[in-house]
Amino acid sequence: MDNKILGLHHITAIAGMAKKNVDFYTKVLGLRLLKKTVNFDDPGTYHFYYGDEKGSAGTILTFFPYEGARRGSAGTGMATNIGYSVPEGSFDFWIDRFEKHNVIYNKPSEKFGEQYLAFLDPEGLKLELVIPKVQDNRTPWQTEEVNASVATRGFHSVTLTLRDVKATAAILTDIFGYTLLEKSGNRYRYSTDAVEHAAIIDLVELPNEARGIGGAGTNHHIAFRVKDEATLMDFRRKIASAGHGITEKIDRNYFYSLYFREPGGVLFEIATDNPGFGIDEEWDKLGASLLLPPQYESRRAQIEAVLPKLD
């Protein structure tokens, strides 16, 4: 595992309604609310983290819910679909659940020999449930309504939509260590063998497609996983040496990060496993309280007054 990209760490998207976001991802999809904190750059906006029991890398979906934000539009230069791994035989459960909660979905389909069920969150973010070729044995978070026999296991894949895939593919193969597994029409599937799950990136080439417009219901960035800060900085050197502009190391409380925009326009992050989500709450109380970065703690009353109510 040393000095390798270990698949996906997390994916961050934009929402427009905080309460609706929490209700959908915890009550309908059955994810765990790991952290309820605020945007480092805009403390009047929440930052929600969802995932498995302990926020394992490869399960973490995060949101910036800007209350009243305009609806975005998925397009090129953007991550456009998030795939979650689910057990074989679970689609009937999920279709019934989507019907019950008025979730927009398509009938099951197939790509690269795997069945998937596409659906939208309340603000139009594109998601998929995927039955992987290799059984996913990660332990899921489960709720009273979504038990382990049907629950999501974490990320299966993410799709990037691009006008031209070549330069993005070169980042994946030459720097990140991914390999091209399969091609079907204008879809290219890349994977890393460094981890078993959350290892797939699909590139879709649409030369004439409009550029994506950020807003509610779109993805902001995707983050790749590394073991620790030493590995993080090793990748910083590789990316800078290849001529790409990249940030300095940034402390995100639960991980350390670097950011750069790959040639196709997608914002990439590289994030560490350390220190993890247990540094400021007991494991059985994750997500229960509003946690503020230290620089904002003195403004807690002011911040709490402007954040939307969730109850």
Name the burial class of residue 133, with classes exposed (0-12), middle (13-18) and buried (19+) by CB atoms within 10 angstroms of its CB: exposed
Instruction: Find all residues with CB under 8 Å of 207, minimum gap 6, and list them.
Output: 163, 164
Q: Is the pLDDT at 1 greater than 60, yes or no?
A: no
Domain enclosing residue 226, as ranges: 8-306
Q: What is the mean pLDDT of the chain?
A: 97
Number of separate domains in the chain = 1
Q: Residue 79: inside a domain, yes or no?
A: yes
What's the whole-model pTM score? 0.96
> pLDDT tens digit string along 206-217?
999 999 999 999
Q: Is the pLDDT at 17 greater than 90, yes or no?
A: yes
Q: Residue 3: inside a domain, yes or no?
A: no
Q: Residue 2: inside a domain, yes or no?
A: no
> pLDDT tens digit string along 161-205?
999 999 999 999 999 999 999 999 999 999 999 999 999 999 999
Give the integer Cα–Cα distance in Å for 142 and 32.
Answer: 8
Give the integer Cα–Cα distance in Å for 47 and 64.
Answer: 5
Task: State the pLDDT at residue 2.
Answer: 67
Q: Residue 170: inside a domain, yes or no?
A: yes
Q: Residue 119: inside a domain, yes or no?
A: yes
Q: Residue 115: inside a domain, yes or no?
A: yes
Task: State the pLDDT at residue 311.
Answer: 83
Q: What is the CATH number of the domain that holds 152?
A: 3.10.180.10
Confirm if 127 and 120 have CB atoms less than 8 A apart: yes
Q: Predicted confidence band at 13 (pLDDT cuts at 50, 70, 90)?
A: very high
> pLDDT tens digit string along 296-310?
999 999 999 999 999
Task: State the pLDDT at residue 134.
Answer: 92
Mean pLDDT, rounded, for 5-23: 98
149 φψ region: left (φ > 0), alpha (ψ -120 to 50), beta (else): alpha
Mean pLDDT, rounded, for 11-32: 98
Q: Residue 1: inside a domain, yes or no?
A: no
